[in-house]
Amino acid sequence: MSNRRQALVTGGGRGIGRGIVLALAAEGWHVAINFRSNREAAEEAAAGARDAGGEATLVPGNIADPASRAEVAAATLDACGTLDLLVNNAGMAPRQRMDLLEMGEASYDEVMDVNLKGPLFLTQTLARHMVDRVDSGGSPGQIVNIGSISGFTSSTNRSEYCISKAGMTMMTALLADCLSPWGINVYEIQPGMIETDMTRGVKARYDALIDDGLTPIPRWGQPEDIGKAVAAIAGGALPFSTGEVIRVDGGFHMHRL
Ligand code: NAI
């Protein structure tokens, strides 16, 4: 244990999660990097965190599985001693894009378990720790949920994903409300199109849409773009905001004429 500030980033081994890990590490944080199966990627992220001036510990586990989720929480508190920041980043797209009229219940359950139920109950466990810390005279932690523009944008070939991300916005509001007596602020970041493994399969299609002016800022977002936003929040940049949705989407959300 050290004097560093302590964070857990779920799904921190690659993509947006890794961008968040590296941004926090550059500010000196110790980051517990949760990953489900790709240890090599998580080890790379940890090495990058140390190179950036931070510290890192790997915390394997599947946040959709109750027993494994409990192990992630316990291992995090064991490695970190305490928790200043929880970043609920892990998420998945449906394995197969299916029209809403064809979507299967198994896919719905899987996506909802990973994207909504897992983060909610992981947060419940770790928020109790944050509450206890404040009750014992310690400082409040912060929570950042990684939502999506899909929380307000219909894509009928991945409805379960959209529903899970819409649910995350209410989860953010509920947690912000519930935890406000302890000064624990809760934020949601809604990324736009970010270049990661998740979007690899739709890259050519989205390249064309971006070229056609889909976003006022005409480029793909990168994991660092989300990392910078999380690091700003983690550094205390928004002390008078909670339940707040922060869009990091190149302006995608704007209605335009
Ligand atoms: P990715 O597929 O590259 O990475 C997802 C990460 O989550 C991986 O590290 C994976 O191991 C982890 N993960 C998945 N299921 C897990 C589980 N059950 N337990 C523990 N870890 C698990 O995806 P990407 O793009 O980095 O996405 C990260 C987050 O950002 C997700 O919540 C995603 O929905 C969200 N997002 C992504 C956007 C994009 O354009 N790439 C846009 C908006 C939101």
How do residues 164-180 score in pLDDT, each as one tens digit? 999 999 999 999 999 99
| Percent of the chain topping pLDDT 70 | 100
- List residues with catalytic annotation: 161
- Mean pLDDT across the stretch 61-74? 98
Q: How confident is the model at residue 256 (pLDDT cuts 50, 70, 90)?
A: very high
Asked if 28 and 5 count as a contact pair (C-beta separation under 8 A), the reply is yes
Residue 147 lies in a domain: yes
Residue 209 lies in a domain: no
Residue 184 lies in a domain: yes
Please count the structural domains in the chain.
1
Asked if 53 and 37 count as a contact pair (C-beta separation under 8 A), the reply is no
| pLDDT tens readout for residues 89-109 | 999 999 999 999 999 999 999
- Mean pLDDT across the stretch 1-22? 95
CA-to-CA distance for 4 and 24, rounded, in angstroms?
A: 11
Q: What integer best gives the mean pLDDT of the chain?
A: 98
Ligand 1 site residues (CB inside 6 A) read: 10-11, 13-17, 34-36, 38, 62-64, 89-92, 114, 146, 148, 191, 193-194, 196-199
Question: Any idea what the CATH number is for the domain that residue 111 is in?
Answer: 3.40.50.720
- Of 114, 7, 12, 129, the residue nearest 66 (C-alpha): 114
- Mean pLDDT across the stretch 26-42? 98
Distances (CA, A) of 50 to 6, 25, 43: 14, 7, 11
| pLDDT tens readout for residues 201-216 | 999 999 999 999 999 9
Token pair belonging to 108:
């719905």
Domain with 60 in it: 6-195+222-248
Q: How confident is the model at residue 117 (pLDDT cuts 50, 70, 90)?
A: very high
The pLDDT value recorded for residue 251 is 98
Give me ligand 1 centre to Cα 183, in Å.
28
Token pair belonging to 83:
């928790």
Give me ligand 1 centre to Cα 1, in Å.
28
Per-residue pLDDT at 219 exceeds 80: yes
Residue 210 lies in a domain: no
> For a pocket test of ligand 1, which of 92, 114, 188 has the largest count of ligand atoms closer than 8 A to its C-beta?
92
Residue 208 lies in a domain: no
Residue 257 lies in a domain: no
Residue 33 lies in a domain: yes
Single pTM value for the model: 0.98
Give the nearest ligand 1 atom to 65 CA. 18
Asked if 146 and 226 count as a contact pair (C-beta separation under 8 A), the reply is yes
Asked if 29 and 7 count as a contact pair (C-beta separation under 8 A), the reply is yes
- Mean pLDDT across the stretch 73-102? 98
Start-to-end C-alpha separation, the chain: 54
The total of other beta-carbon atoms located within 10 Å of residue 167's CB is 18
Residue 255 lies in a domain: no
- Mean pLDDT across the stretch 30-50? 98
CA-to-CA distance for 195 and 36, rounded, in angstroms?
A: 20
Q: Are strands 244-248 and 185-191 parallel, antiparallel or unpaired?
A: parallel
Token pair belonging to 114:
């990973």
Q: How confident is the model at residue 2 (pLDDT cuts 50, 70, 90)?
A: confident
The pLDDT value recorded for residue 1 is 52
The residues near 158 (Cβ < 8 Å, ≥ 6 apart) are 93, 94, 97, 98, 150
